[in-house]
Amino acid sequence: MAAFLFSWSIATTPLAKQSQFVLHEKRNNRLLVSCDQNQTDSKISIENSDEKIERRNLLLGMGGLYGASNLLSVSPAFATPIAAPDFAKCSRGTNLNTGQPLDVNCCPPLSTEIIDYKLPPVTKMRFRPAAHLATEEYIAKFEKAVELMKSLPADDPRNFMQQANVHCAYCNLTYEQVGDSDLRIQIHNCWHFFPWHRWYLYFYERILGKLIGDHTFGLPFWNWDNPEGMVIPAMFSNSSSPLYNSRRNVNHLPPATADLAYSGKDAKHPSKIIPHNLTLMYREMIRHARHLEDFYGAKYSTGSKPNPGPGTVERGSHTAMHSWVGEATRTGEDMGNFYSSGRDTLFFGHHANVDRLWTVWQDLRGSKSKHFTDTDWLNTNFLFYDENAQLVRVKVADTLDNIKMGYDFQKVDIPWQKNKPKARVKKSKVASTSGAPSADSVFPVKLDKVVKVLVPRPKKSRSKKDKENEEELLTIEGIEVDTAEFVKFDVFVNDEDDDPYVLDKAEYAGCFSQLPHKNSSRVNTKIRLGLTELLEDLDCEDDEYILVTLVPKAGGEEITIGGIKIIYVS
């Protein structure tokens, strides 16, 4: 008997004929095909390391599975990237938690013509200024553009509310996955976070530029990672300006300093906000962002459930700023909720900075790999209306270089690069003296209180070469949350201070946070936190165990943790 082992799942492509299907890689799925000369039929068994593959994953198209002979004749290397949604099948739907109809409709206008978008030749660059450094002339131009956008007919896809609904539709489980109608598209908490938002801002910017007849117009970026720009920019705070939004937290209007560690409550130590902000940015952009998956987010393709895992910036400063700006209510409108955030013009200044950080991160990596080569990522495509109200199909592969897309950012200082957090206690013995239980004996657990566990290190006393070859990562898996709520928890390693409000120290490992959705559901996700540099800072690389402390900061009663372990990734 011969046995072949593949990693796979099956789906029809959007343009496939009835009898066509493709195979693609899918993490943790295994297809075992056994061919026995004494048997008339090949034996096929399908396993998943976490759960059995659902039947729909085998019958994703009209053609379905036509037998082992067809299976063995098709290469498992074919991919099934997320395909552009069918706008005709857009649905306001029902709340997945309550079963009640949603009270918001994000569906876009329909068009019978879709064009594959080609990036136009760059003749003049669009310039994106730091919002706090913008000139009066620029602000007047921006205000005029938004005013004109708001005055467009309500059914014009370039209208202000229609543009806000673009974000709502792609993040509120409005669109079916093409090839798997049982699943919905979600562009957050996965590897599509950066490229999708880059396209969104790209067309928003071009629409504004066309309305004022300035093809060099660029959106401003809210430079909240720099102390000079950590206040809501003045252009967004004028109540008589079209850039103003009344649904913001009144306690966070200027001159309040943006809190990148915001947990739904104002900082206990206001004087430490800026030091916290700078060390948080160092973690997100350097310490925890050495691997592509950790920075971008986890893989998400056709047949995958939404929210496989957010990247460092998305779950950290990005989410904190959304929540910090939004109303101080349970649902946080406008900026503090996914469905409504595009209704605040500050959203675009916020995400212009997120987009800038993607470029900064690429520059910091130098010659190292900066992008996935997986075609499930590169060939994913979306639909947007361009500045001419033409519906266009775009793909992730065209977002890899902002210069080729025709825009660049004003150069500003990046102080967080030198703000590596320092250890409060080196060579701590807290792991051996804490009396904390082992992780295996505790999980799964509801995070309605502080949880301390000992996590074994499979490898210790690693050499410099070992560290260069493999990053040591703390993986927190099976994070189940209700997406109707803002939730957050912090993670500490070997922390003797036991002060969960002091974050500018090496012992603070990072966080998980989630903005609320209008279309809520229970999701299961994960995060990974880099340990190699952290353990060097703590001088505990020879230890067999580390003490991990999970501190709920918001919505802990809605959070369940499935497990914690240490892995090594090359």
**Is 276 annotated as a binding-site member?**
no
Q: Which of 24, 192, 351, 517 is catalytic?
A: 351
CA 384 – CA 546 distance, rounded (Å): 47
Q: Residue 285 carries which DSSP code? A: I
The length of the chain, given as a count of residues: 570
Is position 318 annotated in a ligand binding site? yes
Are 201 and 163 in contact by the 8 Å Cβ rule? The answer is: no
Determine which one of 24, 132, 188, 252 is catalytic.
188
Active site residue 351: yes
Nearest 5°: the CA angle 315, 487, 333 is 90
Q: Round to whole Å and give the CA distance between 424 and 426.
A: 7
CB of 432 closer than 8 Å to CB of 545:
yes
Q: Flag whether 517 is marked binding.
A: no
> 226, 413 in Cβ contact below 8 A?
yes
Tell me the C-alpha distance between 483 and 310, whole Å. 14
Catalytic residue among 192, 288, 322, 350: 322
SS3 45: strand
Q: Whole-angstrom Cα distance, residue 96 to residue 305?
A: 14
Catalytic residue status for 142: no
Catalytic residue among 318, 347, 348, 489: 318
| 371 belongs to the catalytic site | no
Does 350 appear as a known binding residue? no
Nearest to 126 by CA among 197, 194, 196, 204: 204
Point out the catalytic residue in the list 24, 197, 276, 517.
197
- Catalytic residue at 322? yes
How many angstroms from the chain centroid is the CA of residue 297?
A: 6
d(CA 360, CA 355): 9
Residue reference for tokens 């966070």: 252
b/e for 4-34, b at 16 or more Cβ within 10 A? Answer: eebebbbbbbeeeeeeebbbbbbeebebebe
CA 203 to chain centre: 20
**Residue from 365, 360, 400, 404 nearest 379 by CA:** 400
192 is known as an active-site residue:
no
In Å, the largest CA–CA distance within the chain is 82
Residue pointed to by tokens 């540099």: 533
Q: Is the dihedral of CA 240, 242, 246, 250 positive or negative?
A: negative
Amino acid 326 reads G
> Residue 118: is it exposed, middle or buried by C-beta count within 10 angstroms (0-12/13-18/19+)?
exposed
Instruction: Assess whether 167 carries a catalytic annotation.
Output: yes
- Cβ-in-10-Å burial (0-12, 13-18, 19+) of 490 comes to buried
- Region of residue 2 (phi > 0: left; psi between -120 and 50: alpha; otherwise: beta): beta
**Catalytic-labelled residue, pool 167, 288, 350, 517:** 167
Which entry of 338, 347, 409, 489 is annotated as an active-site residue?
338
Contact (CB, 8 A) for 442 and 451: yes
Give CA–CA dist 314/305, Å, rounded: 18
| Torsion angle of the four alpha carbons 124, 125, 131, 132, in this order, in degrees rounded to the nearest 10 | -90
Q: Which residues are annotated as a binding site for Cu cation?
A: 167, 188, 197, 318, 322, 351
Q: Which residues are annotated as a binding site?
A: 167, 188, 197, 318, 322, 351
Catalytic residue set: 167, 188, 197, 318, 322, 338, 351
